[in-house]
Amino acid sequence: MTSALIADLKWRGAFAQSTDEGELAKHLDSGSRTLYIGFDPTAPSLHLGNLVQMTMLRRFQLAGHKPIALVGGATGLVGDPSGRSAERTLNDEEIVAQWLERIRKQLEGFLDFKAPKNAATMANNLDWTAPVSALNFLRDIGKHFSVNQMLAKDSVSARLESGGISYTEFSYQVLQAYDFLELFRRANCTLQLGGSDQWGNITAGLDLIRKVTGESAYALSVPLLTKSDGEKFGKTVTGSIWLDPTMTSPYAFYQFFINSDDRDVEKLLKIFSFKTHVEIEELLKSLATNPGAREAHRALAQELTTSIHGEDACTKVEVAAKALFGQGEITDLDAATLAGALAELPRTTINSSSEIPTWVDLIVATGVCESKSAARRIIKEGGAYLNNKKITAEDFTPTASDLIAGKFLVLRKGKRDLAAVELIK
């Protein structure tokens, strides 16, 4: 029952607001409905923020509805409608087209495009926007929009208060509304989902459908996901967490969830996991009674890494994580997984034409030890390791035979402080 779906979304913290909730529930309960979410190709990959919306589409599909993933080949050319005060640099059509294809493949790996009764579909708003002239667009679509109402939208007023908005960004809500109208006409799409910051643009589409067709459609928004410290979810000191493994390695993706603040894990599990309420509650009980075991963190990391990167990649990542902390053989790791894991560590490089420095010099160069005297003290206390092998001599110097895959050394101080050395040729 779809009413159960809405209740589930509320339990998971994935329900911000909707058009008349009772009417929406009746609409969804009366049969399989078509819904959509838009993804603009403003980067070469989707990121964890987009994964929230991808997960919503999947939940509705599992409930029997038909999701449309709209990849904005047209709106992607306009820029980013996120509400930032600065205008995004517009990208060339060729670049946007390349990004669109990469994002299309990511979506195809997450939704079921072969389901017998409610297969997901992909749409590109360039298909219906490109053939329309500016004059026809103004005459047929623009006439339905009140400038006063457009100025009152949060996405516009925020820009105006922070220094102004270009006509291009101001018009974005018209383009998004036009998308909803076209999908309503072409695919009988009656529901748009989106982040709560998109509510004004979404309701603009509802108004346009009503004015042009005289019929009603529906909307549901999802809260923006933030961490307990108020920071935007999916951001780290090194940047966004991307779904593309060449931009964020599977190891870094996995470790993002393993290292999540305990205060965020309940929110993340409920939003992203497809486990039952009972299974999630059991994990949260473990988090409360034995937080050091990090069982909930690990379950979340396993599920999402497998979903995005595949079971084999997740297995390699877990083996690598154990090996780095002395619970496996580092030299058995494949080069790609090892490189991804070490990329997240404090690091230094050495030149192939120079002699390899001592362990003491290397650990200081990585920043893990603040001084050579501190590094020598670690060796005396039995807490110094190279590739998981204990170092006992203060003047120990690695040799070429210690290089893993011919280019890496893994240093460890104590149980958890790791660092990497890479040979540069």
Whole-number percent of the chain with pLDDT over 70: 96
Q: What is the CATH number of domain 225-326?
A: 1.10.240.10
pLDDT band at 58 (very low <50, low <70, confident <90, very high): very high
| pLDDT, average across residues 198-222 | 94
pLDDT of 211 strictly over 90 = yes
- Give the residue with greater pLDDT, 336 vs 180: 180
pLDDT value of position 2: 55
pLDDT value of position 154: 73
pLDDT of 88 strictly over 60 = no
pLDDT value of position 237: 61
Instruction: Give CA–CA dist 310/109, Å, rounded.
Output: 10
Q: Which two tokens stand for residue 60?
A: 């509705």
Instruction: Give CA–CA dist 87/267, Å, rounded.
Output: 31
For the chain, the maximum distance between any two Cα atoms, rounded to a whole number of angstroms, is 82
| pLDDT, average across residues 355-380 | 95
Cβ pair 180, 206 in contact under 8 A = yes
pLDDT of 350 strictly over 50 = yes
Based on C-alpha coordinates, what's the Rg of the chain? Answer: 26
CATH superfamily of domain region 345-425: RNA-binding S4 domain (3.10.290.10)
Instruction: Give CA–CA dist 205/190, Å, rounded.
Output: 11
pLDDT band at 85 (very low <50, low <70, confident <90, very high): very low
Q: Among residues 173, 345, 353, 351, which one has the least CA distance to residue 249? A: 345
Domain spans of the chain, in order of start:
2-222, 225-326, 345-425
Q: What is the pTM of this model?
A: 0.87
pLDDT value of position 147: 84
Whole-number percent of the chain with pLDDT over 90: 68
Cβ pair 321, 342 in contact under 8 A = no
Q: Which residues contact 259 (CB under 8 A, 6 or more apart)?
A: 297
The CATH architecture annotation of domain 2-222 reads: 3-Layer(aba) Sandwich (3.40)
Domains 2-222 and 345-425 share a fold: no
Q: Phi/psi at 244 (nearest 5 deg)?
A: -80, 125
pLDDT value of position 89: 61
| pLDDT, average across residues 246-260 | 93
Instruction: Give CA–CA dist 241/228, Å, rounded.
Output: 17
Cβ pair 190, 196 in contact under 8 A = no
